[in-house]
Every structure is written in structure tokens, then in C-alpha cells.
Amino acid sequence: MTTESATLPAEKGSATETVVYNDSISRWFVGASVIWGIVGMLVGVIVALQMAFWQANISPFLTFGRLRPLHTNAVIFAFVGNMVFAGIYYSTQRLVKARLPSDMLVKAHFWLWQAIIVSAAITLPLGITQGKEYAELEWPIDLAIAVTWVIFAINFFWTLAVRREKHLYVALWFYISAILTVAVLHIVNSMAIPFSPFKSYSIYGGAKDALVQWWYGHNAVAFFLTTPVLGIMYYYMPKAANRPVYSYRLSVIHFWALIFLYIWAGPHHLLNTALPDWAQSLGMVFSVMLWAPSWGGMINGLLTLRGAWSTLRTDPVIKFFAAGVTFYGMSTFEGPLLSIKGVNALAHYSDWIIAHVHAGALGWNGFMAAGMFYWMVPRLFGTQLWSKKMADAHFWLGTFGILLYVGAMWTSGITQGLMWRATDAQGALVYPNWVETINAIRPMYWMRLIGGAAYLVGMIMMAYNLGKTALAGKPVDGRIEVPVAAPKEAEASWASLVFGKPVIFSVVTFGLATAFAVSSMIAGVAFACLTLAVGIFGVLAVRATGGGEGAWHRLLEGRALLFTVLTLLAVLIGGVAELVPTLLIKPVESADARPYRALELEGRDLYIREGCYNCHSQMVRPFRWEQQRFGEPSNMVDSQFDHPFQWGSKRTGPDLAHLGSKYPNVWHYQHMSDPRAVSPGSNMPPYAGMTRSTLDFAHTEDKLRAMRAVGVPYNEKDIAGAVDDARAQGKAIVADLKTAGVDVPADAEIVALIAYLQRLGAAAPAGATPPTTVSMAK
């Protein structure tokens, strides 16, 4: 790998110097992305097989519940993450005509990120997880992620600081928003109290945790999978099409609208749940509003290819980009649609959501990555693509795979949604047995498997093609001639920016608009008129005094730091306004509400370890058909002691919010040992190993102490007596199992899990007895 210095000496007397870009780092990240992409998608194919064929759960370490987080983390953070880093480092250097300042820091970024990925690949199959979707990694890895992200930010902003191009091209804005927002999301959502080297409890509980988690989860999609890739679109599509972006004007509006709106939309993951209604409505409204900037961006991307459509037939890069942006448009139409409460009632918890995310991940992220790699790798190695035909075959195989996958999951999801709610003329459920709904969609699971496998084969073809391309060439670092001492443009003063006309008029308009919102009917009309008048006057005034070279926004774009601060503010405003009111809510006190007993808490940790939340929700929505099937709608009190919350996002199995007391202990024992013994046709993995594995109570007291630190009302007596209480509760369950002919040690893991499952939805006071045992054929 090249280690050339940042600049080469200019020829004597010349007025230019040569900047040599650090392209080694892009080569590394491309390689890592391709390798991890194949790994992540291979795990995806395995979990797809496990859904269709439960026997594929071959080991306790490789069950669906443990592998699914590995799949999602690998694809999001390893495949797309490495791709984004490659694209950002390559394009940023060229857009600002400056080399990355520190070779050491970019190497640190690369190796730390790969170490984090390896840590995830080890810890997740071991069941070391926080139990929060896309944020499963435990606290030591979370700290490493924070450090690595800071290093990434330093590399990026340091490059901006030494830039030779004053103006920040729109792609850089998207990168800035991604770097800042991901940092905020990661820090806020990962706040937890550790009680051992590999285990912690979220400081948020119940509905609060749900809101924070999906604020994070949604915006991880927005600012990790979308905005940086939009930046990549704005740089690489013009390069590939050899023409500028269709409308720079539209890109400005696209950026500000997108980052302002995206941050609000998280609660659309929690529609019809126990989250306060106002937060749900905000999530829905902002999600629908998101459709406009998203499609603005899509149209801008596609129209960039105007005049280059003929190359669509011959150039695989253009093919992938055009299809990728089209999938972006499809996903961002479907997202707002799914965020409408009525549609969400049908789609949520079903495979429709799986179809939606895979249209985005495979179509948008996967195809944009492929387009970028096919464009970039030949340039990084100073040669031509080894086989255009193979890239073409990759495109068609990938497209076939996505369509098969998404078609299968759409069909499956809508089938599920309709079957769950189907009632007969008397109002009774038509499909009361959950397994019926699983059996109905099993063919779709096989179809999904074929689609996913086809996509994976396409990825392997790409890896081979890129590998052969790299071997045919040799590493080449880009270089460009720049003036030795570029004439320094006069920098706009802070005062001229902060007190510029657009800001003044915006502040006044905003103040009047707010007054309109909170005032009475008559005063409101007056304020509305004033707002309109000031707005019109502002437009005329700004127009009269300059829309040219000295335009305010252009000055702003030249001030990277101020631009960054404003971007951060735009993101924070939505986050703060949405999170703070919910975080300060105190659930209505319930006389029956009591924290988990020690053994129940241990059982809950096992539930999280096994990733049960990947298939089971704990949130009954206020629909008649849900109440008939699962019981009373859930409320905020039900999960107030849940750190983290376990509402879930998918129902491959039924909701468990009111599972407690529904079945006797022995039913749970049989079901966990062999799900098909009591539920023929189930596709749940067996957990027979839990009847043999024993619990270690060494950390039980620490767990209660950590829970107390996050607000669960345990007292010193509870903590001191935790182990004794756990053993006593275990003995009671074991005695009950014995009456049904089951012999199991009191410290077996299955006993703790049964204690937890029997507690779900049972807000009975301490000391309540388990349900009456009924005899069962073994």
C-alpha cells in the first residue's frame, strides 16, 4: 500500500502542487464491506432457512434468536458501514481537494471498526446482548463504537479544515448530518448501567425505552443507511453519468427537509401501542411528510441520468445506480404508507415490514454499494473492470432475488395480517390457533429463502469480479494539481451570518407562527396574517438585496463549523421536543405493580439472551381481534419495570404480554423442551438445553442493584434476600413440575424462564401461586 506524503513538491517555478489522495483506506474499506456483506447475507440465508425449516437450529449458539441480530448488525454496520466509510473517504478528499491529514487515524478507524465487527460476531451467538434491536452490542463494545466514531469524525472534519475548495458540495452536508446524528443516537440510546463485564441494563424502561429505542432504530436507518448513501448518490451518480446533478436547488431543499423531518418519525414503529397518542401522531404525520423530500431526492438522482439513459443498457454502474435509486423511491413510498395508523394496524408485527426493510437494504443499500464498487475499484487499481458481463449477471440475479424476496414477504405479511384479524359472523376468531397462520405462509418462507440465496450468489460474483479486477491492476492513489497558495476567499463573519436577513426574517416569522399556534381564535387569525405579511416582505427584501454570489446560504456553506452546528441543531430540535415530554412522564401508580422477583429477573435475562423478542411481542394493541386472541390492551404500567422494554417488533410467534397464568408450568417445560409436542406445526427452535444448564446466582444481587439504579423500586432487603428468594421460587416451581412427573433441578435455567413467563401480564402481589397443574402426556 502506498504511503506517499500528502503533497509532492511542485516543479520549480510552477504555481501548483500535487495532492496525492489516501486511497489505500478506501481499498481496505471496500474489501471489508464485500467480505462482511457476504458473511452477513450468508447468516441471513441461514436464518431464512430456520424460519422455513426449524431443524436448521442446529446449536444453542446458532438459534434464530441469536443469529438474527448477527445478521442485522453485520449487514447494517459491517456491510453498509464499511461501504459508507469507503465512499466518504474517497469522495471527501476529492470534493475538498485535500488528502486525509492523518494516515495513522484512518488506519485506527479501519482496524477498530473491524475489531468491533468481530466482537459482535463472537458475542451475539454467545447470547451477550442488550436486547434492543440494532443496538444489541453490550456496553464495552458500545464504548469502542463511540471511540471509533470520534476518530472517524476527526478524520472527516480535519479534512474539511484543511480543504482547498471553499464550498461544501451537497454530498458533504449529508455526510456531516450522518456523522453528527449517529453519534447523538448512539450515545443517547446506549445509556446503561453495567453490572458485569458483559451485561448492563438500559437506563430507560418500558414506554420510555420504547420511544428512545425506536427514535434510535428509525434514525439508524435514516442517518446510517440513508443520508450517507444519499451523499454517495450525489457524488458518484454525476461521476458515473459524467454530468452534474439534475438540480442543485432541489438538493438543498432535499437535505434540510430530510434531516429536519427524519428525526421525528421514530414513533411510527410504535403505532397503536401504549406509547402516548400525541407521540404516535407526531410519528405518523412526520413520516407522511417524509415522502416529499425522499421522492425529491429520488427524482433528483434519476434525472441526473438524463441524456445518459442509453448507457443503462451497457454500463453496469449506471444499471445498479438507477435500480438502487428506484428502490429508494419504492421504500420511501412504502415507509410513509406503513406509518399511517390504519395500514400499520394490518402490517405491523407481520412480514410486510420484513419486505419493506429488505427492499431498502438489498435494493437501495446493496445496489448503491455495488454501483459504487464497480465504479471505484477499477479506478483504485488503475485498470478496467474484469468482467462487465459478470457484473451484468450480478445485476439481474440480484434484481430477481430482491423481487422474489419482497414479493414473498408482501404476500406473507398481508396474509398474516388478514388471518390474525379474521372473525366470523358471530365475532369469533376464524384462526384462533396461531400455528394455522404460520402454516399458511410457510411456502413464502421457502420462496424468501430462494430470493435471498440468489442475492447472495450475486454478491459472491461481485466479490470474484472485484478481486480479479484488483489482481489485474495495482493500487493507484489519485492525484491532482492544485495552486500552491490558493487565493483565500474572504470568510463571512459570524455576525453577517447570524444576523443575516434570512435569519432575522425566519426568527420573526417563526415567533409569529408560534404565537398563532398557541393563541386564541381571533388573535390567531391576526398572527397568521402578520406571519404571512412578514414572510412575503422577507422574500422581497432578500431578493432585492442579493441572490447572487453573496447569497446567505452560500456563505453558510463556506463556514463548515457553523454549518455543522446548524445541522446538529436541526437534528436535536426534533429529538429533544419528542423525547423530553415522554421521558418526564410518570406512569400512573398501580397498587398491584411490583418489580420482578429475583428468579423472574434471571428468567427475563435468559429471555433476552435467547433473543425471544425477535419473534414474540409483548404489546397487545387496542383492537378487538387482538383482545380476543391475547387479552386486554397493554398499557404503560405493564412494562414500567422493563429495562430494556420487550415490546418487540415482529410476531412469528404469538404475543406474550398476558402469557402468565395462561398455561401451567409443565406446559412451558414441554413447550421449551420440544415446541411441537404441545404446538404441532410450530417453527420455534427447541430449547431443551435449558433443562440441563444451571443458573449462576453470583450476579443476582448486582442485577437488582443495577435495576434499582435505573429506578426500579427494590429496597436493601430485596437485594440482600435476592438469592434466597430466587431459590425459594425455584423450589416452588420444581415441586409443581414434579406433580406432573417432571424432575428438574431448582437451579435449572428452564425454571427461571418459567418463573418469568408466568409473571408476564400477571401484576399479582408478591407470593401469588402459579396456576394449577394439569396432567400432560409426556
Could you say which residues in the range 543-562 bind another protein, by CB under 8 A? 543, 547-549, 551-554
Angstrom distances, CA of residue 158 to CA of 92, 104, 406, 557, 571: 11, 13, 42, 16, 22
Nearest residue (CB) to another protein, 157 versus 552: 552
What 3 state SS string does 275-342 have?
A: CCHHHHHHHHHHHHHHHHHHHHHHHHHHHCCCCCHHHHCCCHHHHHHHHHHHHHHHHHHHHHHHCCHH
Least Cβ distance, residue 386 to another protein (angstroms): 11
CB contact set of 360 (below 8 Å; sequence gap of 6+): 221, 225, 327, 328, 331
Residue 589 class from Cβ within 10 Å (0-12 exposed, 13-18 middle, 19+ buried)? Answer: exposed
Decide if residue 468 touches another protein (CB under 8 A).
Answer: no
Instruction: Pull the grid cell for residue 329.
Output: 423511491
Decide if residue 230 touches another protein (CB under 8 A).
Answer: no
Decide if residue 494 touches another protein (CB under 8 A).
Answer: no
Q: How many residues does the chain have?
A: 778
Closest CA to 48 of 412, 433, 434, 431: 412
Instruction: Pull the grid cell for residue 70.
Output: 448477527
Nearest residue (CB) to another protein, 245 versus 454: 245
Query: What span, in angstroms and rounded, lies between the C-alpha atoms of 763 and 248?
Result: 58
Which element (helix H / strand E) includes 208?
Answer: helix 206-220
Least Cβ distance, residue 478 to another protein (angstroms): 5
Nearest residue (CB) to another protein, 361 versus 368: 368
Nearest residue (CB) to another protein, 239 versus 442: 239
CB contact set of 301 (below 8 Å; sequence gap of 6+): 233, 234, 237, 246, 321, 325, 328
Instruction: Pull the grid cell for residue 90.
Output: 474517497
Stretch that binds another protein, among 50-58, 275-283, 406-414, 645-653 (CB under 8 A): 275-283
Decide if residue 278 touches another protein (CB under 8 A).
Answer: yes
Query: What span, in angstroms and rounded, lies between the C-alpha atoms of 347 and 333?
Result: 15
Report cis status (omega within 30 of 0) of the bond before 644: yes
Angle at 248 between CA 246 and CA 251, to 5 degrees: 100
Decide if residue 257 touches another protein (CB under 8 A).
Answer: yes
Stretch that binds another protein, among 78-86, 169-177, 353-361, 743-751 (CB under 8 A): 169-177
Least Cβ distance, residue 752 to another protein (angstroms): 39
Least Cβ distance, residue 83 to another protein (angstroms): 17
Q: Would you tell me the crossing angle of helices 665-673 and 749-759 to the nearest 10 degrees?
A: 120
Residues 312-371 that bind another protein (CB under 8 A): 315-317
Residues 85-104 that bind another protein (CB under 8 A): 91, 94-95, 97
Q: Within 13 A of 323's CA, how many CA atoms are on the CB side? A: 29
**Residue span 503-542 as binding mask against another protein, x where in contact by CB under 8 A, dash where not:** --xx--xx--xx--xx----------------x--xx--x
Decide if residue 17 touches another protein (CB under 8 A).
Answer: no
Decide if residue 375 touches another protein (CB under 8 A).
Answer: yes
Decide if residue 627 touches another protein (CB under 8 A).
Answer: no
Q: Within 13 A of 526's CA, how many CA atoms are on the CB side? A: 7
Instruction: Pull the grid cell for residue 493.
Output: 463573519
Angle at 651 between CA 650 and CA 652, to 5 degrees: 110
Stretch that binds another protein, among 233-241, 345-353, 419-427, 701-709 (CB under 8 A): 233-241
Nearest residue (CB) to another protein, 238 versus 603: 238
**Residue span 32-71 as binding mask against another protein, x where in contact by CB under 8 A, dash where not:** ----------------------------------------
Decide if residue 385 touches another protein (CB under 8 A).
Answer: yes
Nearest residue (CB) to another protein, 439 versus 635: 635
Nearest residue (CB) to another protein, 271 versus 317: 317
- Contact between 215 and 726 (Cβ < 8 Å): no
Least Cβ distance, residue 256 to another protein (angstroms): 4
Query: What span, in angstroms and rounded, lies between the C-alpha atoms of 689 and 668?
Result: 14
Nearest residue (CB) to another protein, 372 versus 447: 372
Least Cβ distance, residue 673 to another protein (angstroms): 47
Stretch that binds another protein, among 183-191, 254-262, 423-431, 434-442 (CB under 8 A): 254-262
Query: What span, in angstroms and rounded, lies between the C-alpha atoms of 366 and 362?
Result: 5
Decide if residue 378 touches another protein (CB under 8 A).
Answer: yes
Nearest residue (CB) to another protein, 514 versus 739: 514
Nearest residue (CB) to another protein, 96 versus 666: 96
Nearest residue (CB) to another protein, 243 versus 731: 243
**Among positions 14, 55, 196, 384, the unique one binding another protein when judged by CB under 8 A:** 384
The number of residues that bind another protein (CB under 8 A) is 78
Decide if residue 238 touches another protein (CB under 8 A).
Answer: yes
